Amino acid sequence: MNTKKDQSIQDIMDSFQEMANLVLAQLSLIEKLMTGNQKTGQEELIERIEKNEKEIDKFEISISDKFINTIVLYQPVASDIRKIVAVYRMTINLERIGDQVMNISYTIGSLMNTEEYKGMSELILNMLLSGKMMVEKSLLSFVNSDPDYAIWTIKNDTIIDEMNQKLLINSISRARINDKTKEMLLSYVELKNIISNIERIADHATNIAEATIYSLQGTDVRHKDLDKENNL
């Protein structure tokens, strides 16, 4: 017979599975958006992505609350704690993946008809599919208790990063543009890497700040407009 602790842990797992499926659906939707060419269809896909993103945000907060309640109320054993801590950490990363999908959906529409995008679309799609496969494998590793998928994902992270970097540089090098433009584009590639890393640092700082507010005030400020909240 299941105890309340077991039921609480299972509730976390069920919510996590729903969130994971939703994030995987988001990746499939952004793939369709990147390969489509009809404006009406694009708008419908973006609406679906936006709707799903709101649900993903709700799942993150809900799982966080369930995680804390389970620890406080039922004091699970070490093996259960490791499991739900792992879920909690994956939940945070799934939410971040959802944010990245939203960022792509906001910008892709204005780029799809440009010559620059058309020339790089195959490479960009390859990068997306590689990332999608890594997400799928990492989730399968947890669900199936199979560390091999996790090891594959970790190893392929660096390999795929290097592969895509080389493909991007080679594409620029082969392009029928003058040397000055090539040099400028290669500089943009390097700048993009710097900016992306700075953005990640800022994201981590924001996460720390949000956790601090929760610790000090017991208030969950994630996905909220603090300026509006303070003006009420």
Residues 110-137: pLDDT tens digits? 777 777 677 677 777 877 888 888 888 8
Domain that residue 7 falls in:
1-113
Residues 10-25: pLDDT tens digits? 999 999 999 999 999 9
Maximum pairwise Cα distance, the chain: 73
Pairwise CA distance, residues 75 & 58, whole Å: 25
Q: Angle 152-121-25 (CA atoms, 0-180°, nearest 5)?
A: 55
In a domain, 122, yes or no: no
Domain count for the chain, please give it: 1
CA–CA distances in Å: residue 228 to residues 4, 26, 151, 209, 224: 39, 29, 44, 18, 8
Pairwise CA distance, residues 112 & 170, whole Å: 21
In a domain, 171, yes or no: no
CATH number at 93 reads: 1.20.58.220
In a domain, 226, yes or no: no
Whole-structure pTM value: 0.77
Pairwise CA distance, residues 96 & 118, whole Å: 27
- What residue type is 75 in one-letter code? Q
Enumerate residue ranges in the chain where pLDDT < 50: 1, 232
